[in-house]
Amino acid sequence: MSAPAIGGVQAPRGGGQTIRLPRGASLSDFADRIGANPAALVQIMLHLGEMVTATQSVNEETLQLLGAELDYVVQVVSPEEEDRELLESFKIEFGEDEGDEADLAPRPPVVTVMGHVDHGKTKLLDAIRNTNVVAREAGGITQHIGAYQVHAQHEGQDRKVTFIDTPGHEAFTAMRARGAQATDIAVLVVAADDGVKPQTIEALNHAQAADVPIVVAVNKVDKEGADPTKVRAQLTEYGLVAEEFGGSTLFVDISAKQGTGIDNLLEAILLTADAELDLRANPDMDAQGLAIEAHLDKGRGPVATVLVQRGTLRVGESIVCGEAFGRVRAMLDDNMQPVEVADPSRPVRVLGLTAVPRAGDNFLVVSDDRMARQIAQERAARQRIAEMAKAGRRRTLEELFSDYEKGKIDELKLIIKGDVSGSVEALEDALLKIDVGEEVNLRVLHRAVGAITEYDVNLAIADDNAVIIGFNVRPEVRARDLAEREGVDIRYYSVIYQAIEEIEAALKGMLKPEFEEIQTGTAEVREVFKVPKIGNIAGTLVRSGVITRNSKARIIREGVVIADNLTVSSLRRFKDDATEVREGFECGIGVGYNDIKIDDVIETFEMREKPRD
């Protein structure tokens, strides 16, 4: 092997040889593969204009650059490939049905609802669920678990359809970006009074890119000015030609509000599934599938909604789900009824995991707890390396210099905390897609489910001026104090697109002073009283500020907002009505919301116009 001097540094040359490196490898890893001295590679990178240390994770570009320089073909192994190899080392094949044709049985389609904002996605998902006879008869309390299954009559047969009930394509793409595809069919909702809009096209593009057949739900046909024919005409331009126009896409007129056309829509979904897809899975193997949504429950610990894609999941089995593992202690369906077994396409809530998985993480049943633990630990270790690689964006010397010259580094760093992993993933994914030109860069330092902790604030301080995003979560008391003391910016959102809009505006330096939310008081719930005809009243101690009658309020449990848009409708000191109660005093607060528990915090706030600076 010849060893030319690159900038005076000696390193072996590859002669076009291929080497495989995991994403997030360091120069040291590279050096190991080619039998070189890591210090030599550091030197070479320096000559190429990049400062990196030997053990720092570098991005793919850097590995490729170094490979090209040394005449190696570098193959960076994707996280999915890496994971497949990891599972193979345990003799597990993920993503394949065991056996042959004869072992496969039909399974219900899994459907995602997409479309432009306000066109009725949420309403439609509610309508489908409410009109479902079985759910109604069960009479259980339905709860949003990220997905649900309904029954439909089709050609004289009872069939099932599974809906992912996180509407919007952010969730869809976030999963797909992670190599997970849960959706078989996309329902594209278009409001008949509004027609095709930018996000309609975006959703359509996502579905087509993923090769997922589309059924169009033309919604709001009850409204004046509704023009369902126009929607059909508009969509022909994008390759969706209605059957009645000679195409193959099914369009169904519905009113999600009045609950009309829902049966026809279910029928169209099943017709499309039967005509275009061969949805079958082997029900007789260890279950495999995906996590759809997950959160930490106070009493139950980590709770994950998983979608079984093949095999049958049973209570008592050992499972791994992303970096979490455990034994299935119990399973619940979306009516909160216990379930013993879950077959393909069935979404269930699983209790018993050690940690909260991320949306899109795969899950699989393994033979024993030890194997589950090993796989999870191995994944966690790899994930840490990959995150380091993401965070350690390389910067050229030139860039560093010019940044210093300008006296600032134009990079917005974010820490994202949210109530469920689905929203954290979706938010991160959407934020990273914001196109802000070359001068600014956006980096996510950390993302996780749960309240904002001191750790998060410390991370923001350490990385000077990172901003913390709280999506439906709040800081713990000590974290809030620390953030205030250190001037760490924490921003709260409860709607994804609002967060995106604001961050985009901030990145473009156009953030206009607007109204901002000022917290006026907090009160800790000590007791809950039932008052006939009025509902539950919280016996509280005011912890900070002043609680004022008629002010806006929300309820926070374990750092997570569980109810918003409330109003302090009654406020009492002992038996008397009060207009305001200050810090340190006890009072009874009614907010017209019954699910209040001891230790909840009632937060009151008002909107004030932000001064322009």
* Residue among 259, 190, 255 nearest 223 (CA): 255
Dihedral (C-alpha) 490, 492, 498, 502: value to the nearest 10 degrees? -20
Contact characters 150-189, ligand GDP, x per CB under 6 A? -----------------x----------------------
Residue number, 69 or 118, with CB nearest to ligand GDP: 118
* Three-state secondary-structure class, residue 452: strand
* Three-state secondary-structure class, residue 111: strand
Give the phi and the psi of residue 528 in degrees, each rounded to 5. Answer: -125, 125
For residue 192, the minimal CB distance to ligand GDP (Å) is 9
CB 316: neighbour CB atoms within 10 A? 10
For ligand GDP, which stretch binds (CB under 6 A), given 114-122, 282-290, 408-416, 547-555? 114-122
Number of residues located near ligand GDP, criterion CB under 6 A: 16
For ligand GDP, which stretch binds (CB under 6 A), given 59-67, 249-257, 380-388, 501-509? 249-257
DSSP per-residue letters across 517-542: EEEEEEEEEEEEEEETTTEEEEEEEE
Residue number, 222 or 274, with CB nearest to ligand GDP: 222
Of positions 19, 30, 50, 119, contacts ligand GDP by CB under 6 A: 119
Strands in 411-418's sheet, in edge-to-edge order, are 441-449, 411-418, 467-471, 490-493
For residue 95, the minimal CB distance to ligand GDP (Å) is 31
For residue 190, the minimal CB distance to ligand GDP (Å) is 10
For residue 418, the minimal CB distance to ligand GDP (Å) is 18
Site for ligand GDP, residues 329 to 348, rule: CB under 6 A: none
For ligand GDP, which stretch binds (CB under 6 A), given 111-119, 197-205, 237-245, 471-479? 111-119
Of positions 112, 183, 200, 255, contacts ligand GDP by CB under 6 A: 255
DSSP per-residue letters across 585-609: -EEEEE-S-----TT-EEEEEEEEE
Of positions 23, 107, 123, 413, contacts ligand GDP by CB under 6 A: 123
Cβ contacts of 18 within 8 Å, gap of 6 or more:
72, 73, 74, 75
Residue number, 200 or 570, with CB nearest to ligand GDP: 200
Of positions 256, 525, 547, 553, contacts ligand GDP by CB under 6 A: 256
Residue number, 340 or 501, with CB nearest to ligand GDP: 501
Rounded (to 5) percent helix, strand, coil in the chain = 30, 35, 35
The Cα–Cα gap between 296 and 294 comes to 7
The H-or-E segment that residue 348 falls in is strand 347-353
Contact 250, 232 (CB under 8 A): no
Task: Tell me if 289 contacts ligand GDP by CB under 6 A.
Answer: no
For residue 174, the minimal CB distance to ligand GDP (Å) is 17
Q: How far is CA 12 from CA 15, 70, 169, in A?
A: 9, 7, 48
Of positions 64, 75, 122, 567, contacts ligand GDP by CB under 6 A: 122
Site for ligand GDP, residues 195 to 224, rule: CB under 6 A: 219-220, 222-223
Q: Write the secondary structure of 232-300 as one string of H (helix), E (strand) and C (coil).
A: HHHHHCCCCCEHHHCCCECEEECECCCCECHHHHHHHHHHHHHHHCCCEECCCCECEEEEEEEEEECCC
Contact characters 390-419, ligand GDP, x per CB under 6 A? ------------------------------
For residue 121, the minimal CB distance to ligand GDP (Å) is 3
* Residue among 385, 575, 559 nearest 476 (CA): 559
Site for ligand GDP, residues 257 to 286, rule: CB under 6 A: 257
Cβ contacts of 229 within 8 Å, gap of 6 or more:
none
Residue number, 128 or 319, with CB nearest to ligand GDP: 128
List 608's β-bridge partners, or say none.
516
Residue number, 178 or 220, with CB nearest to ligand GDP: 220
The H-or-E segment that residue 468 falls in is strand 467-471
Residue number, 226 or 448, with CB nearest to ligand GDP: 226
Task: Tell me if 120 contacts ligand GDP by CB under 6 A.
Answer: yes
Residue number, 255 or 309, with CB nearest to ligand GDP: 255
Contact characters 221-240, ligand GDP, x per CB under 6 A? -xx-----------------
Residue number, 200 or 318, with CB nearest to ligand GDP: 200
Of positions 1, 117, 277, 598, contacts ligand GDP by CB under 6 A: 117
For ligand GDP, which stretch binds (CB under 6 A), given 250-258, 316-324, 478-486, 497-505? 250-258
Q: At what angle do helices 27-34 and 38-47 cross, to 10 degrees?
A: 120
Task: Tell me if 598 contacts ligand GDP by CB under 6 A.
Answer: no
The Cα–Cα gap between 424 and 356 comes to 12
Contact 217, 189 (CB under 8 A): yes
Residue number, 173 or 219, with CB nearest to ligand GDP: 219
Residue number, 119 or 129, with CB nearest to ligand GDP: 119
The Cα–Cα gap between 55 and 328 comes to 39
List 530's β-bridge partners, or say none.
536
For ligand GDP, which stretch binds (CB under 6 A), given 20-28, 255-263, 529-537, 554-562? 255-263
* Three-state secondary-structure class, residue 479: helix
The Cα–Cα gap between 129 and 151 comes to 10
Residue nearest to ligand GDP (CB): 120
Length of the chain counted residue by residue: 613
Residue number, 118 or 558, with CB nearest to ligand GDP: 118
- 467-480 in b/e burial notation, b at 16+ Cβ within 10 A? bbbbbbbbbbeebb
Torsion sign over Cα 592, 595, 600, 603: negative
Residue number, 51 or 117, with CB nearest to ligand GDP: 117
Residue number, 189 or 342, with CB nearest to ligand GDP: 189
Residue number, 222 or 399, with CB nearest to ligand GDP: 222
Give, in degrees to the nearest 5, the angle at Cα 288 between 277 and 212: 25
Of positions 60, 69, 118, 463, contacts ligand GDP by CB under 6 A: 118
Judged by the rule CB under 6 A, the positions of this chain that interact with ligand GDP are 115, 117-123, 167, 219-220, 222-223, 255-257
